[in-house]
Amino acid sequence: MGVPSKLLSPDLAARARALRHDLHRHPELGFQERRTQAKVKEWLTAHGWDAREVAGTGLMAERAGSAGDGPTIAIRADLDALPIRETTELEYRSVHEGVAHKCGHDGHTSIVCALAAVLDTRLASLRGKVRLLFQPAEEGATCGGGGGRVMVEEGALDGVDQVFGLHNWPGFPKGEVRVITGTVMAQEHRLAFTIRGRGGHASEPQRCVDPIAAGVRFVQSLYALVARSVGLGGGAVLSITEFHAGTANNIIPDRAQLTGTIRSLDDALGERLAEQVRHAVTALEQSTGVTVDAVVERAYPAVVNDPGATGRLERAARRVLGDDRVSSEGLPLAAAEDFAYMAAAVPGCYFLLGAGDPVGVTPGCHHPDFDFDDELLEPGAAVFLAVIEDALAR
């Protein structure tokens, strides 16, 4: 793994794995993480942290070092699962049909819980304060999320000097850190369309206004729109991820429903593409005779890493992992993350922790076969601890 010394004792490592497996077995969707909240609070209390509820199903806990005044450093983990059916045969597979930890938030939470246990024995050498944030509802597109925004609104970052978060990432070498100053994850627009036509018998399409044919044409026009609008530099993607229509093989339906997303590395580019999508809706209506109920709405902002916080993260990661295991290769990503709200509120840094084989060999995040790699608990906690020590060591 590249970590020169073991941070977690065998007992703590075993308990952190057991916690992770328990959370995996009992996943909960955004703003429903009551059991998860209780398990994390129980862990924190056992290790000397006084946790209080925030954002409904989230938690925040803070402790001061014994070496005097100093800055406040916040570490964030996410709690929620996804509305996905698990297809693994793991002993600790989800007990809730259609809900599963397929992004690794169970692992992120367990990393920060392990960190809390380590800090319990190291606060005497630190000045300032450490604040641990366990955030609900990160999965905004699928779980009505935006828990990061709610945490900020409820004061979870008040008084914080810097905030740090991570995400495991299949496709980057296992245990390596990827981090970059500036935009690290994309701004998001959410798309939803109901295309209304006139249904009828499949043998008489000339009597119908076919919403499926219109929908296919619409998807092609949207994909062409991005391909012809972005240019060589790229910086944006548009994906249609749902297309639902029809009830039988001999009926042309009267409606089709589509959803999708725009991801862009530049706010102005994202807004320009969103406006072009709205124009494409009007063009579809005029050319096919359908009517379209369209939702094109701005969702998460881009995650923008602060130079100072990023420099601190890089120093810390290089110290515990080695220079050759920290880089900016492969960044930024077109994924979106509501850590964006935290990084906009105070200087922040969000980094990726490699999870191993390329996607396609090892299932990627949001795949029904995905499972967080327990071997990442050690380097994740070690990097966070090194960040805290870089900021708070006397």
- pLDDT at residue 141 in the model: 54
Q: Is residue 2 one of the residues assigned to a domain?
A: no
- pLDDT at residue 3 in the model: 44
Indicate whether 344 and 388 sit together in one domain: yes
Pick from 333, 382, 319: which is nearest to 169 by CA? 333
- pLDDT at residue 357 in the model: 74
Indicate whether 337 and 191 sit together in one domain: no
Q: Is residue 79 one of the residues assigned to a domain?
A: yes
DSSP H helical ranges for 134-234: 140-143, 147-153, 211-229
Taken in order 147, 260, 96, 88, the sign of the CA dihedral is negative
Residues 6 or more apart in contact with residue 286 via CB below 8 angstroms: none
- Encode pLDDT of 27-84 as tens digits: 999 999 999 999 999 999 999 999 999 999 999 999 999 999 999 999 999 999 999 9
Indicate whether 117 and 41 sit together in one domain: yes
Q: State the total domains in the chain.
A: 2
- pLDDT at residue 1 in the model: 39
- pLDDT at residue 4 in the model: 44
| C-alpha distances in Å from residue 351, one per residue of 77, 322, 332, 372 | 12, 16, 10, 16
Indicate whether 181 and 317 sit together in one domain: yes
What CATH number does residue 294 fall under?
3.30.70.360
- pTM for the whole thing? 0.93
In which residue ranges of the chain is pLDDT below 50? 1-4
Indicate whether 256 and 321 sit together in one domain: no
Indicate whether 146 and 136 sit together in one domain: yes
Q: Is residue 1 one of the residues assigned to a domain?
A: no
Residue 284 identity:
L
Choose the final residue of a domain: 298, 313, 330. 298
Which residues are registered as beta bridge partners of 198?
A: 209
> Hey, is 16 helix, strand or coil?
helix
Domain that holds residue 125: 10-185+302-392
Indicate whether 40 and 144 sit together in one domain: yes
Q: Is residue 268 one of the residues assigned to a domain?
A: yes
